[in-house]
Structure 1
Amino acid sequence: MYNLSYAETMEDICADERMNEAEAMGIVIGMLEAAREKGANSREAIEAIFNTRRLWGFFLESLSDDANALPKPLRADLISVGIWVLKEAERLRQNEVTSFDAIIQINTIIRDSLQGASS
């Protein structure tokens, strides 16, 4: 019988979590891209903004938890990114901006980082 050490088990669990987060980001990015094609006032835009806010709300809650194993400076940087994403999503919702490019780009960078960390 093969016994994994605690560290190996935790590493596997964390890799799975990062992969799930990357997949969720991929879904949101796809929604944002569809919204970009359909326009800022489309049903796709409403759904994309809603789901972007939900996902980043989850991330921010996780990042602000003291049990989060990421280094504090990295957590702080990611929280700053998350706050920007939420503000940009609100600006899109309020029609203060109509381009989805910046929010797609930031989410893509984060997704790609998560994918790199889980491989």
Structure 2
Amino acid sequence: MTMRSAAGYGAYSHVQNRTEDSRSVEYRLLAQVTAAMLAARDSAKDFPKLVDAVLWNRSVWAAFRDDLAHPQNGLPEDLKARLISLSLWVDRESFAVLGKTTDIDTLVEVNRMIMEGLAASQRTTTEAVAPPPNVAADASARIHQLGSTTA
């Protein structure tokens, strides 16, 4: 990479960060970490790759939890509470995956469901249509069902 292309990329990155809204950033981040978890799952013999992907996902959800707990977070209290609860579940499930007592698929599914909600929310904002379905509640209900069938 030349100095000129590096400078160009830096300028692009700066503009992208200024113009990209938080939902888009969250969606992109979840897409990246989910892709890493899928790649780790598909590399069954590469446990260090799985560890890296799961710990990255756990860190993403911890950052979400910190943001949700911040007093200036503008989401409705009920939604914040459900997402914080979901982030705590992700934390516990991550250790279960690392302990090899469960697989990574449920973490991937939760990320995908949240991504769907972020995408629907983005469409709602730009198209001025009805609000998106409550993805956090759907994810919580599915996780509760999984917990009751595996316990």
Please state which band the TM-score falls in when normalised by the shorter chain.
0.7 to 0.9
Secondary structure of 1:96's aligned partner: coil
TM-score using structure 2 length: 0.65
* Identical pairs, percent: 26
Aligned to 1:54: 59
Distance 1:60 1:110 in 2: 14
Amino acid at match of 2:113: I
1:77 aligned onto 2:82: yes
Amino acid at match of 2:48: R
Gaps of 5+ in 1: 1-12
Give the alignment of 1:72-111 within 5 angstroms: 72-97=77-102, 99-111=103-115
Distance 2:56 2:116 in 1: 19
After superposition, what is the alpha-carbon deviation per residue over 1:1-57, rounded to whole angstroms, capped at 9, x for unaligned?
A: xxxxxxxxxxxx8x7111000000000110111121112762220111111011001
Secondary structure of 1:50's aligned partner: helix
Distance 1:40 1:33 in 2: 13
CA RMSD, aligned part only? 1.7
Aligned to 2:129: none
Secondary structure of 2:21's aligned partner: helix
Distance 1:68 1:108 in 2: 23
Distance 1:94 1:31 in 2: 19
Distance 2:39 2:49 in 1: 6
Aligned to 2:73: 68
After superposition, what is the alpha-carbon deviation per residue over 1:54-84, rounded to whole angstroms, capped at 9, x for unaligned?
A: 1001000001111100000000011111111
Distance 1:44 1:60 in 2: 24
Gaps of 5+ in 2: 1-17, 124-151
User: 1:88–1:103: 8 Å Cα contact kept in structure 2?
Assistant: yes
Give the alignment of 1:25-44 within 5 angstroms: 25-39=30-44, 42-44=47-49
Relative contact order, CA 8 A, sep 6+: which one is greater? Answer: 1
User: 1:35–1:45: 8 Å Cα contact kept in structure 2?
Assistant: yes
Structure showing greater radius of gyration is: 2
Task: State the 1:96 CA deviation.
Answer: 2.0
TM-score using structure 1 length: 0.81
